[in-house]
Copies of this chain bind each other. A is one copy, B any other.
Amino acid sequence: MSMASTADGARRERVLAVALEVFGRYGLRKASMDEIARSADISRQGLYLHFANKEALFRAAIQQELDTALDEATTCLNTQGLGLEQRIVAALDAWLGRYVGSMLASDIGNLLQTPAMQLDDIVDPATVAFDNALAAAIAAAMSESDRRRLGLTPEEITEALHAVTQGAKYLSNARAESREQFVARMAAGVRVIFAGFGAMARRTP
């Protein structure tokens, strides 16, 4: 569905990946176009040939990152033969765990050490898409009797999962833990949530 598979698309992807890496290390303000170009083994003018300016490059890099993260996460959610809980843990890790413990501090938001530029138009749709995919996966595994017995909607469960994951990420970041520790913490929280859900937690797609 994406043009990522074409030859020049692949080149663009590589450049954007490198750019994101550099932005992640130095922040938007202190990352220079020169550094990015050298890291991507192209000339600085080569960059300007593909991206109008620094801001456009930055936005494109974020965009690509969100796209691939969303791809990975939804793939996790739809993996055949895996129980709901396992799929959700994997998806939450793919979606929010990618940068825990890495040099990229935490949020994309933290990438902007600057006053803040408008990124909502890129971030919000991706966030909504993920939330929907998560809620859909839960809804698919939830029988009518589950719904009545628990008195919960898929959306409420989604929100709770979000909170647990965000909390695990926050705690892991605060204590400078590794991504593994984050996943363990997050998975433990998810397990508690699903503990009372019975067979629903193990339902496969």
Smallest Cβ distance from A95 to chain B, in angstroms?
Answer: 14
Smallest Cβ distance from A3 to chain B, in angstroms?
Answer: 33
Chain copies in the assembled complex: 2
Which single residue of chain B is at the shortest CB-CB distance from A186? B163
Chain A residue total in the interface (Cβ 8 A): 30
B residues near A186, Cβ cutoff 8 Å:
163
B residues near A165, Cβ cutoff 8 Å:
167
Q: Given A152-B195, A196-B196, A167–B162 Cβ distance below 8 Å?
A: yes
Smallest Cβ distance from A17 to chain B, in angstroms?
Answer: 27
Cross-chain contact of A192 among B157, B166, B167, B188 (Cβ < 8 A): B157
Q: Given A166-B167, A167-B166, A170-B166, A196–B160 Cβ distance below 8 Å?
A: no
Smallest Cβ distance from A88 to chain B, in angstroms?
Answer: 13
CB contacts under 8 Å to B, within A161-176, are 162-168, 170-171, 174
Asked if residues A189 and B166 are in contact (CB atoms below 8 Å), the reply is no
Q: What 6 pairs between A and B have smallest CB-CB spacing?
A: A196-B196, A167-B167, A163-B167, A166-B167, A160-B192, A160-B189
Further contacts, 14 of them, CB under 8 A, given A160-B164, A192-B193: A150-B195, A150-B196, A156-B192, A159-B185, A160-B188, A160-B189, A160-B193, A163-B167, A163-B171, A165-B167, A166-B170, A166-B171, A196-B196, A196-B197
